[in-house]
């Protein structure tokens, strides 16, 4: 048997140490100019049908969020459309997974990839709606466009709702969430979307980090910069993605902001609030609670028991997007976190947390927005 292991494609990431050993020894490549790594995505061909293959990610212990390996299962696909989980375990610092491939060629990844081609398809589809317009805010360090979708007609009485995704490029579930939200928002038969657009205009950046996405990075852009630590010091030299976004936000104003992410370690869906920002008070607390209560109804995958520890008053990290925006605009500003692993409240043995569930979660944000839209100002 001769195995060919390849990652020379969009978001590909793997180093082959020994393809003839059992298990096959691999290592995850670092983000460029960074210590971060955990995203992997590669293709194996030459696998004999029904022969059980075993792979070892030998440097798993040094990954950015190694605790997340404990419940993790690798995703695999034959057609790059359906991604399913395969048996995986973490032992002695290595992530080991077994798979009896049913076809000669199979893809493996940290989570369902969201390709640059799919991103372009999303942008192209959205701009054809009469409700939506496309703007290029500028270019990234690798000279890729930073695309903004504006949905609805701006006006002085309209609430300005902002959403961003994939500041951390390996968190592909974030762009799947934006895709689901856009499908609902742009559906002319959807009453929730229509009602929201009577009172709001949406500014949506589906992929904040095109360079990192294509390079196969976990958390950084082309310069090795973590964009979600740049919101107090963004520059065109280090973090044009954040700089250009902030420039546009100053032009439009912000009444509600949601930054979409994925969490490598916590196997639940949760929101990160901003109780630690200096601007936080009873008004924002009321809006936040109302939003959360509606989201619990809109999608039972969301829960409020598990998540990050709440910041003490005045102790928020203002380098983070949601904290910086919430403070700058005195607005409801939240981070949506979805799991790489699964939602252990509603586990799915075949798919775990998936692209479809991420999309559904994105769509579920709209009824929660509707619940607070009249109180955002």
**What residue ranges do the domains of the chain occupy?**
4-109, 116-375
- Structure tokens of 338? 């979805």
Residue 49: its pLDDT value, please? Answer: 60
Short-list 79, 95, 110, 80, CA closest to 264: 110
Instruction: Specify the pTM.
Output: 0.98
Q: Which CATH number is 116-375 given?
A: 3.40.630.10
Residue 23: its pLDDT value, please? Answer: 94
Residue 1: its pLDDT value, please? Answer: 59
Short-list 222, 309, 317, 224, CA closest to 277: 317
CA-only gyration radius of the chain, Å: 21
Bridge partners for 200 per DSSP? 159
For residue 197, the tally of other CB atoms under 10 A from its CB is 18
Q: Could you give the C-alpha distances from 283 to 279, 280, 287, 290, 331, in angstroms and in order?
A: 10, 8, 6, 11, 9
- From first to last of its 377 residues, the chain has per-residue pLDDT tens of 578 999 999 999 999 999 989 899 999 999 999 999 999 999 999 877 657 889 999 999 999 999 999 999 999 999 999 999 999 999 999 999 999 999 999 999 999 999 999 999 999 999 999 999 999 999 999 999 999 999 999 999 999 999 999 999 999 999 999 999 999 999 999 999 999 999 999 999 999 999 999 999 999 999 999 999 999 999 999 999 999 999 999 999 999 999 999 999 999 999 999 999 999 999 999 999 999 999 999 999 999 999 999 999 999 999 999 999 999 999 999 999 999 999 999 999 999 999 999 999 999 999 999 999 999 98
Q: Yes or no: is domain 4-109 CATH 3.40.640.10?
A: no
Bridge partners for 77 per DSSP? 107
Bridge partners for 352 per DSSP? none
Cβ–Cβ < 8 Å for 33, 223: yes
Is 337 a residue of the active site? yes
Q: What are residue 178's phi and psi, to 5 degrees?
A: -65, -40
Residues sharing a CB contact under 8 Å with residue 313, sequence separation 6 or more, in sequence order = 275, 276, 280
Residue 46: its pLDDT value, please? Answer: 87
Tell me if domain 4-109 and domain 116-375 are identical in fold. Answer: no
Out of 94, 171, 288, 337, pick the active-site residue.
Answer: 337
Q: Could you give the C-alpha distances from 163 to 106, 207, 336, in angstroms and in order?
A: 34, 10, 10
Residue 2: its pLDDT value, please? Answer: 79
């Amino acid at each position: 048997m001769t195995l060919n292991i390849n990652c020379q494609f969009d978001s590909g990431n793997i180093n082959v140490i020994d393809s003839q050993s059992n298990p096959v020894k691999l290592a995850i490549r670092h983000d460029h100019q960074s210590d971060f790594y955990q995203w992997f995505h590669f293709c194996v061909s030459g696998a004999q049908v029904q022969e059980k293959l075993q792979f070892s990610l030998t440097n798993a212990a040094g990954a950015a969020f190694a605790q997340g390996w404990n419940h993790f299962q690798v995703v695999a696909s034959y057609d790059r459309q359906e991604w399913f989980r395969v048996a995986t375990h973490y032992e002695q610092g290595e992530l080991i997974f077994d798979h009896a491939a049913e076809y000669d060629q199979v893809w493996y990844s940290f989570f369902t990839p969201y390709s640059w081609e799919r991103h372009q398809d999303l942008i192209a589809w959205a701009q054809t709606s009469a409700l939506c317009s496309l703007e290029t805010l500028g270019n990234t360090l690798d000279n890729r466009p930073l695309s903004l979708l504006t949905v609805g007609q701006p006006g002085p009485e309209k609430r300005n709702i902002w959403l961003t995704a994939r500041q951390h490029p390996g968190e592909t579930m974030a762009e799947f969430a934006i895709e689901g939200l856009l499908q609902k928002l742009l559906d002319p038969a959807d009453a929730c979307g229509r009602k929201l657009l009577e009172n709001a205009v949406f500014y949506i950046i589906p992929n904040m980090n095109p360079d990192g996405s294509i390079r196969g990075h976990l958390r950084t852009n082309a310069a090795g910069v973590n964009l979600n630590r740049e919101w107090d010091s963004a520059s065109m030299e280090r973090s044009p993605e954040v700089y250009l976004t902030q420039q546009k936000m100053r032009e439009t104003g912000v009444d509600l902001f949601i930054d979409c992410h994925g969490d490598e370690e916590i196997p639940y869906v949760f929101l990160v609030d901003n109780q630690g920002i200096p601007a936080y008070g009873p008004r924002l607390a009321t809006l936040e609670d109302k939003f959360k209560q509606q989201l619990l109804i809109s999608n039972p995958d969301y829960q409020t028991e598990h998540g990050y520890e709440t910041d003490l008053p005045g102790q928020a990290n203002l380098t983070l997007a949601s904290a910086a925006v919430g403070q700058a605009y005195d607005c409801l500003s939240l981070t949506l976190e979805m799991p790489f692993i699964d939602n252990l409240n509603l586990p799915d043995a075949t798919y775990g947390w998936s692209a479809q569930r991420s999309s559904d979660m994105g769509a579920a944000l709209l009824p929660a927005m509707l619940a607070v839209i009249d109180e955002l100002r």
